[in-house]
Amino acid sequence: MISAVDVIRTKRDGGALSDDQVRWFIDQYTRGHVADEQAAALLMAIVWRGMEPGELATWTDAMIRSGERLDLSAVGRPTVDKHSTGGVGDKISLPLVPLVAACGAAVPQLSGRGLGHTGGTLDKLESIAGLRAALSNDEVVEQLRTVGCVICAAGPALAPADRKLYAMRDVTGTVESIPLIASSIMSKKIAEGTSALVLDVKYGSGAFMREAGMARELAETMVGIGERNGVRTTAFLTSMESPLGRSAGNALEVAETLDVLDGGGPAGIVSLTLTLAAEMVALAGVDGDPATALRSGAARAKWDEMVRAQGGDPSAPLPEAEHMRVIESPASGFVTRLDAMDVGIAAWRLGAGREQKHDAVSATAGVTWTAGVGDAVEAGQPLLVLHADDAARLDAAEPLARAAFTIGAEPVDVAPLVLDVIRS
């Protein structure tokens, strides 16, 4: 007979959990028959002892089986999704999803809200007037069938074990574990029913994984889980030393998305969007060309169609902050550093992110900047603009915003955004 204490002891002492132990524990904890303190003890043991590949595969499968698996067989076109481990100014999903759909694939982007220095994908989308992010499974399938893409919240029936375990990890100091991170991400993505997946695994100042080596280990682990579950998976290692694009905030990042879809936008955002889109199209096996779909306006038309399908008005003006403050360059020279974490925390202090899951976020708050690493600037040139609904927040954010930039006398080489690509 299996007991929670025996499972904890096995992992505590460095042993591998049997398939039966894993499946029993996930099932019983999800049902509420294993106490929170016992789950916390096992999670801490996993943080210290790790998990073997077979053990992790069973753990992930048990999390998937804890709830429903979305059936996308009625969609009528190949499915492919993308997941990012997150970063400052990371709005790539917003232009990417309609772009790939415009190429002929169906993209079921089940996203979340942010916890920390910036908002999540849903926080950004909900700055659009009328847009509805909570859809039923039937609505998701129908929108994929008719429009080809959806960006919405994951339903509570998808991988409920992950939802419960994630909440426990967040309050017990057990987030930093590659097996637990990988199984959390992949259980949700596999449960959503997609046939292929592209992962954007970030490293650097503004990323969850600060070191490239740890990001690579996480990427390789997730690619392995995907392949074992029949999901064609590719991972890109991308830098988050500097924030992406020229904005960090909710409505601000939607505005930047529209610039990209209209044929403009920052070069880095456009480049990474096209790179990920090309891989998604290849994995899905469709013939569309992302560059052509972007240039022709097909991706923008698909965005408008998606927004309307979810109750939003794509022509409505985006909300703007009541208060703004311009920060000027203290000297002439070249930008040698733009720290992603400093920018992200500044955006959080302005109201763009949340500290607790129930906190509200401001649609209009955030930071915009006019120059990136390697760019020449003049003394007195506007470098950043702080946006907030509450003027008092500007004072709280300004020191970090000023500290984010370093201006040097000589130009520096700009590191490539994509470090490596990992395939099975």
Residues labelled catalytic: 83, 162, 169, 184, 188
Sheet strands (E) in 280-338: 323-328, 333-338
d(C-alpha 225, C-alpha 58), whole Å: 10
* DSSP secondary structure of 358-415: T----SS-EEEES--TT-EE-TT-EEEEEEESSHHHHHHHHHHHHHHEEEESS--PPP
Closest CA to 336 of 226, 242, 219: 242
Closest CA to 204 of 47, 347, 343, 95: 343
Which residues are paired to 110 by β-bridges?
152
Closest CA to 281 of 49, 37, 102: 102
* Inter-helix orientation angle 178-191/212-228, to 10°: 40
d(C-alpha 410, C-alpha 284), whole Å: 45
Query: What letter represents residue 179's amino acid?
Result: P
* CA distances in angstroms from 305 to 82, 296, 300, listed in the order given: 20, 16, 9
Cβ–Cβ < 8 Å for 47, 29: no
Query: What letter represents residue 100's amino acid?
Result: V
Closest CA to 190 of 233, 164, 226: 226
d(C-alpha 145, C-alpha 141), whole Å: 6
d(C-alpha 218, C-alpha 18), whole Å: 23
